[in-house]
Amino acid sequence: MSTVTLTKHHGLGNDFLVVFHPPVPEAQLPDLARRLCDRRRGIGADGLLVAETEEGFAARMVLYNADGSRAEMSGNGIRCFAQALAARRGDLLDQHILTDAGARLVTLETTDDADTILATVDMGTVDPIGAPSGWDELGCHPDRPVAHLSLGNPHSVVGVDDTATVDLAALGGKVPQINLEIVGPGARTDEIRMRVHERGAGITEACGTGACASAVAAASWGLATPKDGRLVVHMDGGSATVALDTPSAGRVTLTGPATLVATIEVTV
């Protein structure tokens, strides 16, 4: 048994545990994630972020969802990871981080809150993918806008009139292998409202890759119009800004906060 120091962070309520070089074999990391992320018997989090040394990068980030499944990328998670890495390094220099979805560049800024940073992440390209297995079971009306997109991880985005009235848990349970976002109009033309059911975690308060997918989809549908190339995405946990190369395609960047919650010692 070993004592390990973890840090807990959240990005707009989407919370993660970060651990550097855990003293357990890789095959045991899914079980470690399930144990630590359990909200009743563990510390509680939407995912576990494992940091490893990677030549040519600030670090490698490996993400395990709360159910122990491995995910390619998280826009909120990488901001939390970058905050933990910055504290470890003692600087706010740009970070090139390797993920299962590829390399990502993160730039950091201070805020008025000592425990919160503002991070901007180059999220790469948003690419169309096929509909997930079982998609027809959702029973979407054929006139309802739908987009299936990838940011290294899969997303299905559905346009709705009012996100508050949708039974998201029921819908997400029909396609648990996908990140499902429902999107409606915001108060302004450059804003949208989004709720998300995440693969491996269920309903979360925010999703960074989902915000990017939703922004691209909403702009392509004409549901929202970027201002200076940016859309604001309002989620249950708060708001993030997505910058788009074009209204419908290209690279996107995500800007939002990451907040340190606690430093915790556990025995593993």
Domain that holds residue 150: 127-249
At 250 the pLDDT is 72
Under the phi-then-psi rule, with left for phi > 0, alpha for psi from -120 to 50, and beta for the rest, what region is 138?
alpha
Instruction: Specify whether 184 is located in the same domain as 142.
Output: yes
Mean pLDDT (whole number) for 24-50: 96
Cα separation, 95 vs 79, in Å, equals 11
Instruction: Specify whether 21 is located in the same domain as 65.
Output: yes
For helices 208-221 and 75-89, what crossing angle results, to 10°? Answer: 140
Instruction: Specify whether 97 is located in the same domain as 189.
Output: no
At 69 the pLDDT is 95
| Counted domains in the chain | 2
Instruction: Specify whether 112 is located in the same domain as 142.
Output: no
pLDDT band at 249 (very low <50, low <70, confident <90, very high): low
Mean pLDDT (whole number) for 41-64: 97
In contact, 196 and 181? CB cutoff 8 Å: yes
Instruction: Specify whether 41 is located in the same domain as 114.
Output: yes
- pLDDT digits over 133-190, tens only? 999 988 888 889 999 999 999 999 999 999 999 999 999 999 999 999 999 999 999 9
- pLDDT digits over 219-229, tens only? 999 999 999 99
What percent of the chain is modeled with pLDDT above 70?
99
- pLDDT digits over 153-164, tens only? 999 999 999 999
Instruction: Specify whether 222 is located in the same domain as 197.
Output: yes
CB-based contacts of 66, cutoff 8 Å, min separation 6 = 33, 34, 37, 38, 45, 46, 47, 200, 201
Instruction: Specify whether 136 is located in the same domain as 211.
Output: yes
Instruction: Specify whether 86 is located in the same domain as 188.
Output: no
Instruction: Specify whether 118 is located in the same domain as 132.
Output: no
At 246 the pLDDT is 57
Comparison of pLDDT for 246 and 71, the residue scoring more: 71
Cα separation, 242 vs 193, in Å, equals 13
Instruction: Provide the residue type at 237 as one letter.
Output: G
The CATH number that applies at residue 226 is 3.10.310.10
Cα separation, 102 vs 35, in Å, equals 27
Instruction: Specify whether 112 is located in the same domain as 61.
Output: yes
